[in-house]
């Protein structure tokens, strides 16, 4: 006998009141204002539509998946909590104490490590079993996901993550309301292949040796395949092409037909800046179209790191993007040394390079912003090998790749040498700023200890980049840029003593004066060389940017020293010549550089009468800088006096310093002297454009 169904609606039955009406909604529910929830059981059981059944089934499925994800989240939180409570041991990268690397045997025998002040990243050098580092899943479309060892041991969690790693996400707009651009729309934004070829060649010759996170052979091979079949290329690689174009366009000659063909601005410099911004935006569109927030691989990470590098060169903000990139790097397992993940040697080095490049960018950004990051990122990643790309082959692994290779074992620098030197310098910069900000002890002994570390870096650079004229032009430029940055740190370190703080004896202060003078003159000498030698024209972006900023600190420091009574007359003449030559270069570069414009606005206000009085330059008749008169190519020796210039041209009254200038130069926080993007130009009180 069939079950009898109630005549009242479910609302009235629950409240045990009279139900008026036999249709939906009943009169009682309508009067009570709950008509929308009025349901009769007979309708639910006999008239259930197929669509409603599917909706209920889908709801049950979603609830079940939510429950599974909650369980997974709880397990991951427990794993993370266990990891963060472990004792943190750190190692300075890429160099170790006394500039001596650890061999593989030493790493196995002595897992202890060394602390570095201000370091955001913490390296744990411990022996790990290959089966204890987790697993990497790769989807059919090439997207990568890393699963920790403790998580992968749980069969349910392991299978859940493995299934999710195979899921493909449909295109969706993340940064805008519109639909992401199609692959064809992205390809249409590329310049003609003849221009792409020239720009990529420029990137490989200029920027790749400076920030060598790509394997040049792999990139060239992928680019060749892309040209043959662009429509089937991964979107992440199209983004990688765009970001290389955006960097390369800043290094091409102003007379290049690329600027006239592609640019639409009034001047070549403005066209280069406009094209660089356009290609950076196209890179971001490629990443968004590829759903980089949900699915990523090594090319995604390389693209993001180079994009942040490009944004930094344009003096743009990249802190938030850095955080996203760091999380993506961890998501694909780059915080685990790739030598433990059974990968081919090329990918091992690409992953180490990507992690090293990201570490550099994060360290210097964090330092410039006053050490914002409240935590450390633990990792066990070895540094990239200091070898050329041709030495890394897929079939065999050279001995140099099995551990951290000491740079002094090689006679000449490689394309990796610059980034490894810069790694150490960024760590030193963090330590100098931490001491200057009062986060660590500031004393003559501490200053001397940091000065010795910086001096070791200068000596290592001089040894590695010896025989300058026999090296390729990019290595010569690297030597000058490294020398400028290292001497910039010397100025920041000894700038503390310019006002003779309490507890500092006269001998310490005098020594700091001499260090500042020597470092400032070396910077101005290098700046002059970079400006005058034709082979360094692809590095105009550096000269107009960070190079001019370093020169501005050097000339500002010399102006402060110029007022000190302890400077000899010969030193004053040498300082005046160097400053006036630098002043001339800054004015020549001002039409192409906002930094030079701002520096000139400040320096012009310090010159009485007619500003900008150019003096004869230290040049040969063919316009090439006299390396003998500029004291050693990239060295830290002070330049000698140009005897061809009359001493009458050096008028001490050319510079008229206000009483507040010394205090302004010395009181600006150290980290703000690291980047023109965070420098308080308005703090000088002059009319800054």
- Domain parsing of the chain, residue ranges: 1-41, 132-166, 180-393, 424-500+507-608+650-673
Query: 51 CB contacts (<8 Å, ≥6 apart)?
Result: none
Say whether 640 sits in a helix, a strand or coil: coil
Residue with tokens 């299978």: 159
Say whether 304 sits in a helix, a strand or coil: helix
Is pLDDT at 307 greater than 90 in this prediction?
A: yes
Say whether 138 sits in a helix, a strand or coil: strand
> Cβ distance 573 to 649 under 8 Å?
no
Report residue 429 CA to chain centroid gap. Answer: 15
> Cβ distance 6 to 16 under 8 Å?
no
Quote the mean pLDDT of the chain.
77
This prediction's pTM: 0.75
Q: Which of 18, 408, 361, 21 is nearest to 213 (CA)?
A: 361
Q: Which of 346, 380, 359, 301 is nearest to 134 (CA)?
A: 380
pLDDT at 542: 94
Residue with the larger pLDDT of the pair 527 and 666: 527
Lowest mean pLDDT among 65-74, 200-209, 470-479: 65-74
Question: What's the whole-number mean pLDDT along residues 208-224?
Answer: 95
- 403-420 confidence digits (pLDDT tens): 444 444 567 899 999 999
Question: What's the whole-number mean pLDDT along residues 31-56?
Answer: 71
> What's the CATH architecture for 1-41?
Irregular (4.10)
Lowest mean pLDDT among 99-108, 129-138, 382-391: 99-108
Distance, in Å, from the CA atom of 206 to the CA atom of 213, rounded to the nearest integer, reads: 13
Distance, in Å, from the CA atom of 423 to the CA atom of 474, rounded to the nearest integer, reads: 18
Report residue 225 CA to chain centroid gap. Answer: 28
DSSP letter for 267, please: S
> Cβ distance 540 to 269 under 8 Å?
no
> Cβ distance 104 to 402 under 8 Å?
yes
- Phi, psi at 427, each rounded to 5°: -65, -40
């Amino acid at each position: 006998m069939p079950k009898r169904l109630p005549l009242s609606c479910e609302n009235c039955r629950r409240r045990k009141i009279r139900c008026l009406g036999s249709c939906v909604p009943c009169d009682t529910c309508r009067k009570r204002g709950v008509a929308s929830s009025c349901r009769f059981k007979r309708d639910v059981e006999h008239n259930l539509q197929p669509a409603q059944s599917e909706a209920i089934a889908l709801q049950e499925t979603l609830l079940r998946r939510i429950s599974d994800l909650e369980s997974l989240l709880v397990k991951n939180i427990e794993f993370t909590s266990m990891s963060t409570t472990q004792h943190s041991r750190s190692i300075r990268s890429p160099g170790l104490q006394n500039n001596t690397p650890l061999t593989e045997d030493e790493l196995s025998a002595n897992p202890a490590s060394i602390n570095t002040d201000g370091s955001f990243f913490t390296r744990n050098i411990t022996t790990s079993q290959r089966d204890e580092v987790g697993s990497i899943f790769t989807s059919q479309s090439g997207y990568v996901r890393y699963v920790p060892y403790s998580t992968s041991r749980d069969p349910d969690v392991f299978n859940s993550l493995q299934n999710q790693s195979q899921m493909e996400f449909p295109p969706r707009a993340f940064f805008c309301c519109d639909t992401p651009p199609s692959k064809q729309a992205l390809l249409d934004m590329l310049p003609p292949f003849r221009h792409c070829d020239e720009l990529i060649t420029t990137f490989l010759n200029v920027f790749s040796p400076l920030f060598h996170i790509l394997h040049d052979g792999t990139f060239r091979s992928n680019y060749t395949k892309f040209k043959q079949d662009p429509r089937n290329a991964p979107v992440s690689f199209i983004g990688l092409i765009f970001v290389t174009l955006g960097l390369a366009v800043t290094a091409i000659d102003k007379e290049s037909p690329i600027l006239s063909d592609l640019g639409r601005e009034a001047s070549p410099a403005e066209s280069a800046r406009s094209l660089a911004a356009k290609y950076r935006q196209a890179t971001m569109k490629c990443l968004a179209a590829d759903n980089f927030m949900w699915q990523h691989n090594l090319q995604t990470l390389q693209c993001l790191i180079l994009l942040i590098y490009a944004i930094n060169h344009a003096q743009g903000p990249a802190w938030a993007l850095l955080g996203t990139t760091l999380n993506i790097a961890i998501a694909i397992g780059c915080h685990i040394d790739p030598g433990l993940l059974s990968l081919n040697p090329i990918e091992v080095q690409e992953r180490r390079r990507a992690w090293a490049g990201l570490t550099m960018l994060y360290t210097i950004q964090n330092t410039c912003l006053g050490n914002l990051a409240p935590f450390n990122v633990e990792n066990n990643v070895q540094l990239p090998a200091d070898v050329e790309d041709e030495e890394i082959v897929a079939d065999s692994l050279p001995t140099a790749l099995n551990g951290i290779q000491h740079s002094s074992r090689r006679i000449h620098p490689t394309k990796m040498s610059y980034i490894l030197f810069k790694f150490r310098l960024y760590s030193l910069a963090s330590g100098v700023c931490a001491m200057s900000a009062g986060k660590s002890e500031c004393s003559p002994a501490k200053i001397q200890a940091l000065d010795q570390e910086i001096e070791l870096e200068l000596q290592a650079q001089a040894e590695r980049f010896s025989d300058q004229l026999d090296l390729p032009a990019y290595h010569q430029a690297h030597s000058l840029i490294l020398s400028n940055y290292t001497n910039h740190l010397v100025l920041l370190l000894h700038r503390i003593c310019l006002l003779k703080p309490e507890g500092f004896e006269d001998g310490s202060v005098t020594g700091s004066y001499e260090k500042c003078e020597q470092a400032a003159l070396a910077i101005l000498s290098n700046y002059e060389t970079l400006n005058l030698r034709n082979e360094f024209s692809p590095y105009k972006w550096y000269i107009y940017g960070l190079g001019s900023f370093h020169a501005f600190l050097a000339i500002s420091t010399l102006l402060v020293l110029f007022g000190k009574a302890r400077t000899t007359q010969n030193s004053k003449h040498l300082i005046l010549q160097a400053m006036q030559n630098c002043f001339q270069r800054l004015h020549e570069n001002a039409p192409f550089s906002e930094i030079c414009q701002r520096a000139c606005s400040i320096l012009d206000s310090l010159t009485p009468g007619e500003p900008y009085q150019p003096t004869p330059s230290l040049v040969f008749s063919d316009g090439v800088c006299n390396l003998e008169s500029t004291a050693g190519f990239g060295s830290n020796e002070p330049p000698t006096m140009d005897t061809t210039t009359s001493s009458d041209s050096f008028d001490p009254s050319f510079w008229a310093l206000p009483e507040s200038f010394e205090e302004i130069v010395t009181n600006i926080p150290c980290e703000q002297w690291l980047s023109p993007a965070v420098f308080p130009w308005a703090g000088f009180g002059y009319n800054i454009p």
